[in-house]
Amino acid sequence: MLQAVLAVPRAALSFPRNGVEKAAIVIAILIVLLAVLGVWLAPFDPLKINFRGKLEPPSFTHLLGTDGSGRDVLSRLLYGAQLTLASTFLVLAVIVAVGCAIGIFSAFIGGVVDNLLMRLADIWLGFPPLILAFGFAAALGASLQAAIWALFFSWWPTYARLTRMVTVDILSQKFMASADALGVPVHRKILNYVIPNAFDVLIVQATLDVSAVMLAISGLSFIGVGAQIPTPEWGAMIADGRSYVANGWWIVLAPGLAIFLTALAFNVIGDMLRRELDPTSSRRQ
Amino acid sequence: MDEPLLKVENVAISLRHDGRSMVAGVSFAVNEREVFGIVGESGSGKTLLTRTLFGLHDDAFLSRGSVTFAGETVPLSGYAAAMRKRLGHAIGFVLQDPFSSLNPTMRVGKQITEAIYLAKGWPMGAERTKEAAMALMSEVGIPEPKLAFDQFPDQFSGGMRQRIVFAIALSQEPKLLVADEPTTALDAITQRRVIDLILDRSRRHKLAVILISHNLELLRQSVDRIAVLYGGQLLNIVTAGEIGTRTIHPYAEALFACIPARDKRLADVRAIPGEPVAAGAARIGCAFASRCSFAEAVCREAPLPVNPGAAATFSACLLGRGVH
């Protein structure tokens, strides 16, 4: 397990094939760093309203200008990086953990329970996340939390099914029969055999899903079901700046570019990982 | 005589999904330190027999007979689970194909220490266990065990991987090692080396070995006794010395006549006429009757004798050939 985890930074150094992939890795690391340190780097309070200084174009005081209520866009962007990425990784961590647990359990137990769980996953997959998000917004009130819940409920089946499929494949391998012959108990099979061998597939899917989840959170916030204005969430910032596009283009441009760059970077990394790790990928070599 | 380590009496094996009997009337005993061979053509039921016997077959079960291991009779109900409890310490099982029987994501050293841990826990501490694992690696002939310890299986050749597989099995210090076609995927020289390794270990550590193979010559040179399976029936148990020197079961006779040798021309290697029958077809009489040059009416009608009391040598020939 540890080896598999340690393989990631090592791989990150040897995988990139071209400048785009190198740039994507640099951008992703920068964005994560900014998200972690953003709270201390932000020059202003992201929520401080200043009507006298509203809609100021980018200047040396306000590097990215101010929004319709005079809030500093750069500060909001940095706070937003933390909020957006934190909720993205939270959602992702929970769906990966829950999905993997259900998938591995399902594959190990087999039979009727396996079938029931997977049909349940199919049914959940049938719900469009958007509809689910509206449902949660109606029940919990429109908030970032509602969006997170909605994404969790609509996304775990993807991982449950993927993990189950990979685990069933691993369980049919010869080395699992050898593990039986060595008397390996179930918990050690999961820890030492299933998880390390499923790691490649899961890390690729999870990396590709970073951008998907982030776009979903921002998207839900943009249409008003997720984070609410004036919360400095990137989607909500675009929603807020929408009405000022004509005389304050920088308000939507900054969070828009941030979403675009982050999604692009993680997608490129995900594709790169798939090329390098997935043996069925035809683009290898 | 001492009680044998493993005694299998009149065992029948059936498929789980339709209850069809695939192997019937098998009796044999394996003594401590003995190297016991099981030979048979593809489809004769040797893998099915051994896998089911040691609880590793999910689709078949022991439907009849009794199995005694180290003085304890294993009950037929819950047989596979009871036998699996003995795997990993009392019994070691090495599967066919070294290329896929190692966990590709675990360093080989860790796979050995893990096996030791599963068999015994950490009575000597992690550091000493690591040393024991490296000592074992050099014993099975892996050069530079210190370096090899931290490598992954795909960094080794097939022969080296098979050695690692054996190091893993031997690290648990079983009383009985079952090796199912351990050498099929290897070249002739590596085959010989791997077999010698097992024999050497058997001699020095009181290890009983069951060697399953269709490599007749290799088996004849390596084992003490050979059981011959055909069409799901146990036709013959002979000592290796009897082969070619005295009358044995007609099928075994024909089978060992197929071994090519330096002083034989290809024309002298006699193939057995006809097609081998698969295990499992419900049958009365001798499975080999359809191809046997001695066959008489009785061979197709009489029930096949079962090795009484799992005797050391046995011939199931209804005409009494090879019985002594």
> What are residue A66's phi and psi, to 5 degrees?
-125, 160
pLDDT at B185: 73
Q: Do B118 and A188 touch (CB under 8 A)?
A: yes
For A174, the closest of B88, B97, B114 (CB atoms) is B97
- Does the beta carbon of A188 lie under 8 angstroms from any beta carbon of chain B? yes
- The larger pLDDT score, comparing residue A12 to residue A141, is at A141
Instruction: Give B95→chain A minimum CA distance, Å.
Output: 7
pLDDT tier, A285 (very low <50, low <70, confident <90, very high otherwise): very low
Q: Do A182 and B168 touch (CB under 8 A)?
A: yes
Please, what is the average pLDDT of chain B?
87
Q: Do B103 and A175 touch (CB under 8 A)?
A: yes
Per the listing, tokens 């044999």 go with B28
d(CA B120, CA A82): 49
Chain B positions touching A185 (Cβ under 8 A) are 118
Average pLDDT of B264-270? 69
In angstroms and rounded to an integer, the radius of gyration of the C-alpha atoms of chain A is: 22
Q: Do B84 and A183 touch (CB under 8 A)?
A: yes
pLDDT at A206 over 50: yes
For A174, the closest of B54, B93, B100 (CB atoms) is B100
pTM: 0.83
Per the listing, tokens 């004798």 go with B305
- pLDDT digit string (tens) for A244-262? 988 889 999 999 999 999 9
Query: A87-91, A131-135, A163-167, B145-149 — which is least confidently predicted?
Result: A131-135
Half-sphere exposure of B260 (CA within 13 A, CB side): 3
- Does the beta carbon of B104 lie under 8 angstroms from any beta carbon of chain A? yes
Residue A223, amino acid: I
Residue B174, amino acid: P
SS (H, E, C) A81-139: HHHHHHHHHHHHHHHHHHHHHHHHHHHHHCHHHHHHHHHHHHHHHHCCHHHHHHHHHHH
Half-sphere exposure of A9 (CA within 13 A, CB side): 4
CA A147 vs CA A52, A226, A256, B269: distances in Å? 34, 5, 19, 77
d(CA B84, CA B91): 9
Please report the residues numbered 193 through 212 in chain A whose beta carbons come closer than 8 angstroms to any beta carbon of chain B: 193, 196-197, 199
- Does the beta carbon of B291 lie under 8 angstroms from any beta carbon of chain A? no
pLDDT at A284 over 50: no
Please, what is the average pLDDT of chain A?
89
> What is the β-pairing status of strands B6-15 and B60-69?
antiparallel
pLDDT at A171: 94
What is the value of ipTM here, to two decimals? 0.83
Average pLDDT of A179-200? 93
Q: Is residue B210 within 8 Å of residue B38, measured between CB atoms? A: yes
pLDDT at B267 over 80: no
> What is the β-pairing status of strands B35-39 and B208-213?
parallel
pLDDT at A84: 92
pLDDT at B211 over 80: yes
Average pLDDT of B200-211? 90
Q: Do A178 and B89 touch (CB under 8 A)?
A: no
CA B276 vs CA A23, A40, B132, B272, B317: distances in Å? 64, 80, 46, 9, 17
Please name every residue paired with B24 in a beta bridge, in sequence order, or none if there are none. B233
d(CA B207, CA B91): 10
10 Å Cβ neighbour count for B10? Answer: 16
Q: Is B314 exposed, middle or buried (0-12, 13-18, 19+ CB in 10 A)?
A: buried
Q: Is residue B174 within 8 Å of residue B207, measured between CB atoms? A: yes
Instruction: Give B96→chain A minimum CA distance, Å.
Output: 9
> What are residue B269's phi and psi, to 5 degrees?
-80, 110
pLDDT tier, B223 (very low <50, low <70, confident <90, very high otherwise): very high
Q: Do B103 and A4 touch (CB under 8 A)?
A: no
pLDDT tier, A6 (very low <50, low <70, confident <90, very high otherwise): low
Instruction: Give A191→chain B minimum CA distance, Å.
Output: 11
pLDDT at B208 over 80: yes
pLDDT at A283 over 50: no
- pLDDT digit string (tens) for B20-51? 889 988 999 999 989 999 998 888 889 899 99
For A192, the closest of B84, B89, B114 (CB atoms) is B114
DSSP letter at A274 equals H
Average pLDDT of A117-140? 86
